[in-house]
Each structure stands twice: as C-alpha cells, then as structure tokens.
Structure 1
Amino acid sequence: MRASLNYNDYFKLILNNVDYGENILIRIEQTEDRGRTLFALSDIKYMDVLFREKSLLYGPLHDSPSVCLNCLKQVSDEVCEYCGLPLCTEPCSTYFNHDDYECNLFQLAKYRPTINDFESINPLYQCITPLRMLLTRDNLPDKWTILQNMSSVIGTQQTRECENNVVNYLIDYWKLDFTKEDVRHVVEVLKNNAFEVNSTTKTKPGGPGRGIFPLHALTNHSCAPNITYRYISEDDHMECFAIRDIRKGEELFNSYIDYNEDLETRRETLRAGWNFECKCERCLADDK
C-alpha cells in the first residue's frame, strides 16, 4: 500500500527541486475530475518562464542501444570495471551517478552482463530507469515518497507488454525486495510522466534519455495548450514557459502529443499512451 500525501504536503516536497525566480506564478489545486493540477496565480505573458525544475532522476530510453549510464552517450566497447554495464571510461558530463544505483546491485548479485552488440537495441535498458526509481526507496526516501504519489494508469497496453521484460525480470530474476505492484507503478509513472531529455551540451557529447520532473508532470493535457517546456542540459533543468498570454486563474495545459495532428490521430495516440479521450474545447469543436 503506497503512502498518500495531501496536495499541500506533496507540493512542498517537490518544491525542493524547483526554482521560481523572483515571483511565484503558479499554484497547485486538487480538482474533483482531474486530480492535482496547476493554475496561474497571476497574469502571465507570452514566453514568460513560470519555473525551472531539476530532474528527480533520469535514465536511458526504453528502446536504447548501449549508452553510457552516466552521460547517455552511445559507446562502442566501454564498460564499467565493477559491474560490466556500458560506461564511459573517461570522466564525462553527468548529473547522475551510476555508481550509486544499478552498479551496486549488479556487483552484489555477482552478475556481469556480456554485451557483444553495442549498436542494436539492448533489452536490458528497459529495466534501468525503473530500477533507479525503485532503488530510491532505501537511500533517497523523499524521492521515493514523490514517486509513490505520482499518478499511474495500471493496465494499459504498455504495462502488459513490459510485464515479462521489466516486472518479472526485476522480481523473479533479481529477487528484489519489491512487490509486483511497486514495479508496475514505477513503470507506469515513467510512461505517463517522463519527459524526453538530451544530455548533450555545447562542450560535451551526450544522448537522449527520459527524466522525471514531478511539477511539470502535474500539468494536464490539452490539444490547445498554453505552456510548453524545454530541457537545459547544461544544468539538468526543465524550463516551463508560456506559449500565449495566460490570465490569472487559468489552468495550465501542456500537450502530451503533437497537437498539429488531426482529431482522430490525436485521440488514437492519447488512448494508446494515456488511456483517455481528450475533451478539450478544440477537440469538442473539431468533433462537430
């Protein structure tokens, strides 16, 4: 059973990774039909930055070739000397420490993966980011509490597909001290709430991955959004900014998909990925 926080306590906890600048422009509210979401606390101008949020954690993509587990740059034959997982042999640009997470687990299990093909998609990477999320329970309890209180949609097509690759692998093969519900929850949190990031900077190579940004994740979807985001790899922050003028009291909406698509394509994508049908003003107008 996951411990549930009220929205005020949850908001205070996630603010540890958030920079508002000079003025707080948003507030969190618990709604009856859409859960916790964000509203404008004052009038916001086009291109105003509402907040900057550091990632709770990040990791490689679900369908990733062999990349460095620190900087996410694709590697050819470089591995960690302790656990055997792909890792740059030279110091690399990183805001994540592989040594503190899966490296210890692989060492304790006395299992060194053998990777012969560094170019093809490596199924092992499906487990890395969910594993990092689970491992916060014992060492980073505040992060674990946040993850436990993030929304998930159990039973989607993606969950069923990952049952064997992630859930059963981590529980049955690795014998981790977590329930299958725990693993399914973090997998769904990742699928429903993660944002794509790219660790490449102006001076250091990197690569694509996915990160958890709990405050950004509170924004609901609309096919006519009023905010969007950009990832700043130099300091591992996601920046939320307005894409039109927003009035005080308006709900903040992000678009989970390409909102330039036609109505049926948008609905199909949302049903498959998030298990809901959009009822925003634009969709209702397009449906007439």
Structure 2
Amino acid sequence: MGDDVRHYGVLQNDKYGRYLVANKDLVSGELIFTDTPFAVGPKPGKYTPPLCLSCYCPVENTLCSTCGWPVCSEECGKSATHAGECEVFSAAKVKFQTVEDWTVSAPQLDCITPLRILLAKEKDPDRWQRELEVMETHTKERKERPTWGADQVNIADFLVDYCKLSDRFDKELVQKVCGILEVNSVEIPSRGGFSIRALVQVRAAVPIKQGETLYLCYTHSLSPTIVRRDFLLESKFFECDCARCADPTELGTHLSTLKCSKCDNGVILATNPLGNYLTLSMS
C-alpha cells in the first residue's frame, strides 16, 4: 500500500483473518490510504466476454499479430500491459481459440490475471512476500467446490503444461494465486477504456472512531440481508455480522422487511437476521 497516508492498522483473528482498523478518529470523506494494484486484468468467470488485453474494451475477431490473443488494435498489441502474456503465449505457440459469439463469456481468458500476478511475482518478489503471500486463500474450502476443478483445468494445467511454464511455476502456486484473487481481489466495472495506473483511494464514508473496524462492501448494497450474507459466505468464506446485517430493519432501510397482507401498518421483521434460517415476527 502507498505510504503517503496510512490511517489504519492491521489486525487478525480466526473469523476474518487479516483486517483493518482505524488508527485515528476519521471524519467522513477523509483519506485512509491509497494503493496501486499488484496486477490488473480481466475478471475470471462467467461474466467476462472476449476483450482487449490492454485497454479492456470489447473486441470481435481482432487478435494480436504476435501472439494471437484478443486486442483491439496494433497499438494495444504492443502495449506494456499485454507484453507479459504475449511473450508467454508466443513462446509456447498457444493461440486464442476463436469463438462463435464474442458477446458471451470466454473461459480462455480466466488464465490472464493469474498469469499476470505470477509474472509480477517474478519482477517484485519483495512485494509479493510482503503483501500477497500472507493473504488468505481458503484452499481447503475451495477444493470442495466445482470452481476448483475449473481453475485446475482452465488455469493451472493450461499455464503449467500447455504454456510450458513448469520450470517457473508449479500448479500449487497457480491455485494459490487463484485463491488470492477469489478472496481478496477488487473488481472495478468498466465497459470503456481503463487507466493502467488503477490507483485506488480509500476514504471514510462515515465518521469512524479510532480502533473501529474498516468495512468494504463486497455485495450489492440494495440486496437484502439474507442474499448478501449468502453471497459473502459463498464467495468470501465468512458470515458477516456487521451492523446492517445484525439489524432486523437493516439500519432503517427495511430492504428485508415484508408488508403484512392483513393490515395497513403492520410489517414482518426477522427476529434473528444472523441465524442460519429465517424467523419472522409481526410489528
């Protein structure tokens, strides 16, 4: 993380792993820290169609003249952003397999961001050791899910075997990187150009007292508690008990509240929103 402003401390517990707390009283809007990414790349999974591997714009039937993977122009094909994987794919003679529909997800691109992290690890081993090596990966839990097998085939086997990187990385390390991405990465939605700097500034949205935990919303803010907590357990491997999740009214927003069908003013609230099943009460 950037060293100009560091209004946080790092703590650790069994439930959340490593997390941040404020090291001073913060006012709303105050800068907590700035950060630059270890690597930037397309999000793996079912939501990423073919896109330019330099500027991330959607593409169709335009491939790099050197390696044969998606780029939008000759300029992007020669960019520093694309250079790492371009060299790997060219050396291994592995080309992007053309698709019939360029608007649907392309599992071939799942390997790009993990590969960029691996290449960044070689260039900056000190930062890897200091920041990424200690990140939680939940390997045991991930092995029990179907996504583990998909990552093994589409990413680990592909990079180590087909791209001939076994002398540089092993499959265990590749899966570790996949876990780091799944649990710790931050998505920045963009359908247009994307700055290579990708500088992140984290500010306090509300007043925060010294010692209070710093929270980041991983979910859609308009989703109700039961949906948010289920998503967090599935994707981030923890059960959230923040102030909003613990409040039956969701801090007065009533996004989970049901209207009573038998009277005009009655509502139905969860009696234990942090429970494993939903119980309701009339109010």
Report if TM-score (shorter chain) is over 0.5: yes
Residues 265, 148 of structure 1: alpha-carbon distance in 2 compared, 3 angstrom cutoff: same
Q: 1: CA distance between counterparts of 2:153 and 2:189? A: 28
Q: Which residue of 2 aligns with 1:69?
A: 53
Q: What's the secondary structure of 2:126's corresponding residue?
A: helix
Q: Which residue of 2 aligns with 1:102?
A: 85
Residues 196, 43 of structure 1: alpha-carbon distance in 2 compared, 3 angstrom cutoff: same
Alignment of 1:142 with 2:117, yes or no, is: no
Is the Cα contact below 8 Å between 1:85 and 1:113 reproduced in 2?
yes
**Alignment of structure 1 residues 158-177 onto 2, 5 Å:** 158-177=147-166
Q: TM-score, normalised by structure 2?
A: 0.74
Aligned length: 240
Residues 254, 206 of structure 1: alpha-carbon distance in 2 compared, 3 angstrom cutoff: same
Task: Give the % identical residues.
Answer: 31
Alignment of 1:184 with 2:171, yes or no, is: no
The code of the aligned residue for 2:31 comes to: V
Q: 1: CA distance between counterparts of 2:154 and 2:132? A: 21
Residues 239, 190 of structure 1: alpha-carbon distance in 2 compared, 3 angstrom cutoff: same
Q: Which residue of 2 aligns with 1:115?
A: 98
Q: 2: CA distance between counterparts of 1:39 and 1:136? A: 28
Unaligned runs of 5+ in 1: 1-14, 208-232
Is the Cα contact below 8 Å between 2:38 and 2:120 reproduced in 1?
no
Larger Rg: 2
- Deviations for 1:102-156, whole angstroms, at most 9, x for unmatched residues? 1111111123334254333222111111111122333332343233222111133
Alignment of 1:34 with 2:16, yes or no, is: yes
Displacement of 1:70 after TM fit?
0.9
Q: Which residue of 2 aligns with 1:3?
A: none
Q: Which residue of 2 aligns with 1:279?
A: 241
Displacement of 1:185 after TM fit?
0.8
Q: 2: CA distance between counterparts of 1:262 and 1:111? A: 44
Unaligned runs of 5+ in 2: 249-270, 273-283
Q: 2: CA distance between counterparts of 1:161 and 1:85? A: 21
Task: Specify which structure has the bigger relative contact order, considering alpha-carbon pairs within 8 angstroms and separated by 6 or more residues.
Answer: 1
Residues 77, 161 of structure 1: alpha-carbon distance in 2 compared, 3 angstrom cutoff: closer
Q: 1:80 aligns with which of 52, 56, 64?
A: 64
Q: Which residue of 2 aligns with 1:206?
A: 193
Q: What's the secondary structure of 2:212's corresponding residue?
A: coil
Is the Cα contact below 8 Å between 2:96 and 2:108 reproduced in 1?
no
Displacement of 1:248 after TM fit?
1.4
Q: 2: CA distance between counterparts of 1:32 and 1:267? A: 18
Q: 1: CA distance between counterparts of 2:79 and 2:19? A: 28
Higher strand share: 1
The code of the aligned residue for 1:194 comes to: S
Q: TM-score, normalised by structure 1?
A: 0.73
